[in-house]
Structure 1
Amino acid sequence: MKELQDIVKAFDHAQIAGKQTALATVVHVEGSSYRRAGARMIVTDDGQLTGAISGGCLEGDALRKARLVMAQQKPILVTYDTTDEDDAKLGVGLGCNGIIHILIEPIDPSSSNNPIALFKQFLSKREPVVLVTIFTLNDKQAAQPGTCALMNKDEQVTGVFPDSTIEDAVLIDAKDVLKNGNSVTKTYIYEDRFTCFIELLRAAVSLIVVGAGNDAIPLTKLAAVLGWQITVIDGRSNYIIPERFPLADKLIVTKPDNALSKLSLDNRTVFVLMTHNYNYDMAMLKQLLPLQLPYIGALGPKKRLNRILDELREEGVNITDEQLESIYGPAGLDVGSENSEEIALSIIAEIQAVLTKRNGSSLRYKATNHIRGGEQIIQQSLTENI
């Protein structure tokens, strides 16, 4: 999400400056790589790069090829094979032991369906979409259609497919991804002609920080680095001011009973209760419990949270096991946090783990497979659907 936001901004600045641009996208990965399919980078004709397609080792070579793409106004597919232990011959030194396929396509500002226009359509609303990118993996000299279509939550399609023979099959798969809300990406091989990358894009995380104390400041700063949308709520007007929270998208001074009426919530909305005011936090939690949000973090000791829950039960609030599953208290992963910055880091990491359905353990204990960063690569022949 943050990467797309930055790419769109860079494109707009390039347009104002009269620069040509090209988009590089990791469309397929075999084995391991630093970035997964869906990683992107925009390149300007004077060599400015925004985004990333690797840990820095591919960007230089991709820049040279992007300039060729801009000159010819023709997309190309580039493959970096690092399965050979002597990958130094590539001049990039990846050390990833994988094969990375990168599509580089020129951006035509006059086209209403260019990739940036599709990104802007997605970013304009807090709704999931499916983005379709088509290329020819088995014949790199063939035409590379590129980022061509977007399906919104109402299954309306923007864009044009390069071949009607694959459109129906692709849209069926796109609807399935959209319906199930999968965080996976799928790469399908269609005969020897087309490869389709079907990608689910989700809205940025909406972080609602309840409490404007000093310890909330580093939490909003870290969330801003990730491109999350940030709202801070507190009842103290002298605390909740722009000078203290310059990176927040919205500051709300209100009593807890009126807080929810000032918010728009969805399944990408998370809360962190950190007012240090027992009654304020309890009043907020009472309203949040029925909403079944993905994450409600409660700062402070477990004893404090249990006391709040007990008092709510005494008031007649029926708290289900399912509702308890969404409450994380004390908030944060166990990383030995002491000060407010370290606590903020542990909370942000826990939210990320919860939203991506990970356990937050060290990657050193993870088995090697083709599932990385929420991505699952699936190859299958769909010739029977064409």
Structure 2
Amino acid sequence: MLNIPDTLHHWCEERRPFALATVVNVTGSTPLPPGTSLAVNAAGAVVGSISGGCVEAAVYELCVQMLADGGAPARARFGYSHDDAFAVGLTCGGEIDVLVQLIEPETQGHLSAALKAVMAGRSTALAQVVQGPLPLLGRTLHIDAEGRGTYHGTLGDERVDRSVATQASAQLRAGRTACVEVGGGGTSPQHLVVLVHVHGSRPRILIFGAIDFAAALSEAGHYLGYRVTVCDARPVFATRARFPYADDLIVEWPHRYLEHTEVDTRSAICVLTHDTKFDIPLLQRALGLPVGYVGAMGSRRTHEQRLALLRDAAVPQTQLTRLHSPIGLDLGARTPQETAISIVAEILAHTNRATGLPLSLGTGPIHRP
């Protein structure tokens, strides 16, 4: 449900009841992952999507019925229809389980708190019971970035709350929305399946070198939801007019900036300067950091010269193998805009452990678990 925080937060602030449909389990190839939601308010306004269009109309009707009846939360399953391609079903061949529930903002303080945190850009997790005793189905518990929750029997009793909060905190650190199981043992007789919705801070893309290719890459990174940083030691090039899509515009020697800025395993570093006085000290630092991607622009000849200089600087071979250079996928790109697409395509493929090959050449499900 954290895929539509702005509208849900607005409805909660106005105390508007709404029906919420959430994907809680997927099997096979499906368009959208668990945690994705669609919501409908009493006026019939709809926000979000759970299947990319395949079953939206049917889920909308379930939400309208939930608003009219005010019934208990219920699960529904949608899958591919072999008999009628136009029947309600997922034409991609997978199956999804959807939990539909009525949200009364005045009694859903945990949901409101989580949405408020997301709107403020803070890392947060929202645990939602998606399988268990009917009185607990759909209940939520908000856990903040420090792992703090409210333990007053929100999900059944205090022991269950603490167990869920512990597991939700682990999912928040990993930055991954997933289902967890709690209870059913000595600590708690009630067995629950809880979907932990995770909203983390935006991953970073750090672009070094304030050139035309960097301007196009900053726009592409912004479009994909990255926090975009552009850094160059030359103030005449690193200007806001040239980089309107950069969240952070830094005038500093690249390696010095990288020494004191914060990165993590989701961060992507793109070195576009192809100037050895900038590249070598920067890549020495970048390749030793626990970041997700390091790429450098330049010809194959430049790449070989760069590797030689990095070896001379005693950069270990294990680190050199992390370098994506020449940067980007082979798309035949020539313009800055085309090159930006090739770079972000490589970042996405590397991040998702995908091949980067045409889907027409592959087999099996298109959407991976």
**Above 0.5 in TM-score?**
yes
Unaligned runs of 5+ in 1: 376-386
Q: After superposing the two structures, state which structure 1 stretch, 251-260 or 97-106, moved more.
A: 97-106
**Structure 1 residue 352, shift from structure 2 partner:** 1.6
Which of residues 363, 367, 370 is equivalent to 2:359? 363
Unaligned runs of 5+ in 2: 185-189
Q: Which position in structure 2 is the counterpart of 1:148?
A: 140
CA distance 1:123–1:267, change in 2 (3 Å) = farther
CA distance 1:78–1:204, change in 2 (3 Å) = same
SS at match of 1:41: strand
Which of residues 156, 167, 185 is equivalent to 1:163? 156
Q: Give the 5 Å matches for 1:81-100.
A: 81-87=78-84, 90=87, 92=88, 94-100=90-96
Partners of 2:181 and 2:260 in 1: CA distance: 43
**Structure 1 residue 239, shift from structure 2 partner:** 2.5
Q: After superposing the two structures, state which structure 1 stretch, 260-269 or 195-204, moved more.
A: 195-204
Q: After superposing the two structures, state which structure 1 stretch, 189-198 or 75-84, moved more.
A: 189-198
Q: Which position in structure 2 is the counterpart of 1:384?
A: none
Partners of 2:9 and 2:55 in 1: CA distance: 24
Relative to the length of structure 1, the TM-score reads: 0.77
Partners of 2:260 and 2:274 in 1: CA distance: 22
Partners of 1:227 and 1:143 in 2: CA distance: 37
Which of residues 309, 312, 335 is equivalent to 1:311? 309
SS at match of 1:349: helix
Q: Which position in structure 1 is the counterpart of 2:37?
A: 40
1:57 aligns with 2:49: no
**Structure 1 residue 249, shift from structure 2 partner:** 1.0
CA distance 1:153–1:324, change in 2 (3 Å) = farther
- What is the aligned-residue identity percentage? 27
Partners of 1:13 and 1:154 in 2: CA distance: 25
**Structure 1 residue 209, shift from structure 2 partner:** 0.8
Which of residues 244, 266, 274 is equivalent to 2:272? 274
Q: Which position in structure 2 is the counterpart of 1:214?
A: 212
Q: Deviations over 1:170-200 (max 9, x none)?
A: 5675566567x48573465988974433455
CA distance 1:68–1:81, change in 2 (3 Å) = closer
**Structure 1 residue 330, shift from structure 2 partner:** 1.0
Give me the CA root mean square deviation.
3.7
Q: Which position in structure 2 is the counterpart of 1:335?
A: 331
Q: Which position in structure 1 is the counterpart of 2:187?
A: none
CA distance 1:68–1:365, change in 2 (3 Å) = same
**Structure 1 residue 153, shift from structure 2 partner:** 6.2
Partners of 1:147 and 1:318 in 2: CA distance: 55
1:134 aligns with 2:129: yes
CA distance 1:335–1:193, change in 2 (3 Å) = same
Q: Give the 5 Å matches for 1:154-193.
A: 155-158=147-150, 161-164=154-157, 170=164, 174=168, 177=171, 181=174, 185-186=178-179
Partners of 1:116 and 1:302 in 2: CA distance: 53
SS at match of 1:290: coil
Partners of 1:87 and 1:94 within 8 A in 2: no
SS at match of 2:287: helix
SS at match of 1:285: helix
**Structure 1 residue 365, shift from structure 2 partner:** 4.7
CA distance 1:88–1:108, change in 2 (3 Å) = same
Q: Give the 5 Å matches for 1:164-313.
A: 164=157, 170=164, 174=168, 177=171, 181=174, 185-186=178-179, 194-198=192-196, 202-260=200-258, 263-313=261-311
**Structure 1 residue 350, shift from structure 2 partner:** 1.4
Partners of 1:76 and 1:144 within 8 A in 2: no
Which of residues 298, 319, 325 is equivalent to 1:323? 319
Q: How many residues align?
A: 362
SS at match of 2:63: helix
**Structure 1 residue 297, shift from structure 2 partner:** 0.9
Partners of 2:209 and 2:271 within 8 A in 1: yes
User: What amino acid does structure 2 have at the position aligned with 1:359?
Assistant: T
User: What amino acid does structure 2 have at the position aligned with 1:115?
Assistant: L
Relative to the length of structure 2, the TM-score reads: 0.80
SS at match of 2:23: strand
SS at match of 2:239: coil
User: What amino acid does structure 1 have at the position aligned with 2:141?
Assistant: A
Partners of 1:25 and 1:41 within 8 A in 2: yes
SS at match of 1:260: helix
Partners of 2:287 and 2:86 in 1: CA distance: 57
1:352 aligns with 2:344: no
Partners of 1:206 and 1:228 within 8 A in 2: yes
CA distance 1:372–1:82, change in 2 (3 Å) = same
Q: Which position in structure 1 is the counterpart of 2:27?
A: 30
Partners of 2:122 and 2:145 within 8 A in 1: no
Partners of 1:32 and 1:97 within 8 A in 2: yes
Partners of 1:85 and 1:97 within 8 A in 2: no
CA distance 1:257–1:52, change in 2 (3 Å) = same
Which of residues 107, 110, 114 is equivalent to 2:110? 114
SS at match of 2:4: helix
